[in-house]
Structures are given as structure tokens and as C-alpha cells.
């Protein structure tokens, strides 16, 4: 599928066909794309929990009750659900791990490149921690960069998807034991095959006019 076709054809699925499992090859491809998502100064402040079993989906669905019960069927009926999480802090251990991985992957070919990369990344961390004081928001932005790529990738593969912010964050963190690992949930994405009950599939896209959205200078 061409990128243009994927962008124009994708939509947020409102109902899934229970029991329909995505081919593992497609899932692996999608996770490879997600793994290679871009982030500011390659900070990679994320972790992705992939639920591919009924038990895993039921665990995530614990966060979709009460006010958010409308999302419960999407979670349990989907083939896969991914909880996109962020770190609660970019601590020293994480910064060292990222730098070590970059070195192992051969990114430092010029003299001083390793030290330069480390200094640059730490300067951004310090900027957001001490000056702008928006570390959580900054890290969350990186997770949403990954979300955008994930949704486009799913559309390219012909996989139906639903991004969801409608869940109890504290309940998700507890169900997945995220806080014990220095993580917190940001957004969920259900993946699978839509059912005939997906009313959104037959509706046209609606966007504000281009002249309202774009300014050309």
C-alpha cells in the first residue's frame, strides 16, 4: 500500500472481530517499526507492553471500567493491544545504557563523537528538568512520536487500529506493575480486524479546510 492510500484510508476502529489474530509476521514488522521510532536526542524514554493473549488483554482491560468502559470491548476483542509507556525520569542508568548501545551499534566513528553525544543529550535533559521543568511533558511527546509512526505503520500493513487515551492511568500502572519499574502508561493502541459493528468504517473523513489549517509564507 502506498503511503497516501494508507493515510486516506485509515480510521479509528470502534469495534473488533473477536478471535481474529493478526499474522505474527505482520506483528513483528510493526514492532520493528515501533522499536525504531525517533525521539529527541535519541533519548528513547519509553517502554511498550504488548498484550497478545486473552490474559494479557484482560490485564490491560482492568483500566477500562467505569467511565472508560466503552473501550473495554475494543481491548478484549482486538488481536493485540500495546500500552505505550514512558519513563518517570531519565536517570543516570538510562542515559548510560543509551550511550553504551549507541557505541555498540557503531555510531561513534569520529574522534570525540561519544563525548559530544553524551554532552548534548544531557544538556537537553538538564534543560527540561531544571530550566523548563517539563520533563514529563517532554518525554510524553516522544511517546506520541512513536504513536504516530505506529498508526501509519499499521495502516500500511492493512491492520486496523484504535489509539485510546480513555483509560484509568492509575489502574493501568497497577495492573501492569509499571511504577515499580519506573514507568507510567501514556496511551493504548488496539490492533486487529474490525467487525461489521465498526460504524466509523463507513463514515467519511472530516478535516478543517486546507486554507484554515495551512499558512504559506
Q: Which residues belong to the active site?
A: 14, 74, 165
CA 25, 30, 35, 36 dihedral sign is: positive
Say which residues have a Cβ less than 8 Å from residue 81's Cβ, sequence separation at least 6.
Answer: 50, 51, 56, 57, 60, 75, 188, 189, 190, 191
Strand pairing report for 183-192 and 160-164:
antiparallel
C-alpha 79 chain-centroid distance: 16
Closest CA to 184 of 124, 140, 215, 150: 140
- Distances, alpha carbon 37 to alpha carbons 4, 23, 142, 200, 210, in Å: 20, 22, 9, 28, 28
Amino acid at each position: 500500500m502506498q503511503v497516501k492510500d494508507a493515510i486516506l484510508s485509515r480510521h479509528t476502529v470502534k469495534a473488533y472481530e473477536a478471535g481474529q489474530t493478526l499474522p505474527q509476521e505482520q506483528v513483528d514488522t510493526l514492532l520493528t517499526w515501533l522499536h525504531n521510532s525517533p525521539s529527541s536526542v535519541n533519548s528513547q524514554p519509553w517502554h511498550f507492553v504488548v498484550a497478545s493473549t486473552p490474559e494479557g488483554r484482560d490485564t490491560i482491560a482492568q483500566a477500562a471500567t467505569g467511565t472508560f468502559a466503552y473501550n473495554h470491548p475494543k481491548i478484549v476483542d482486538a488481536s493485540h493491544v500495546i500500552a505505550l509507556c514512558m519513563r518517570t525520569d531519565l536517570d543516570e542508568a538510562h542515559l548510560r545504557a543509551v550511550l553504551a548501545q549507541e557505541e555498540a551499534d557503531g555510531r561513534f566513528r569520529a574522534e570525540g563523537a561519544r563525548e559530544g553525544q553524551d554532552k548534548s543529550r544531557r544538556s537537553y535533559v538538564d534543560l527540561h528538568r531544571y530550566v523548563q521543568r517539563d520533563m514529563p511533558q517532554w518525554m510524553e511527546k516522544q511517546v506520541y512520536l512513536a504513536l504516530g509512526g505506529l498508526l501509519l505503520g499499521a495502516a500500511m500493513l492493512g491492520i486496523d487500529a484504535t489509539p485510546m487515551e480513555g483509560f484509568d492511568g492509575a489502574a493501568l500502572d497497577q495492573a501492569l506493575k509499571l511504577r515499580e519499574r519506573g514507568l507510567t502508561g501514556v496511551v493504548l493502541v488496539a490492533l486487529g480486524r474490525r467487525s461489521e459493528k465498526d460504524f466509523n468504517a463507513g463514515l467519511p473523513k472530516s478535516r478543517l479546510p486546507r486554507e484554515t489549517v495551512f499558512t504559506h509564507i
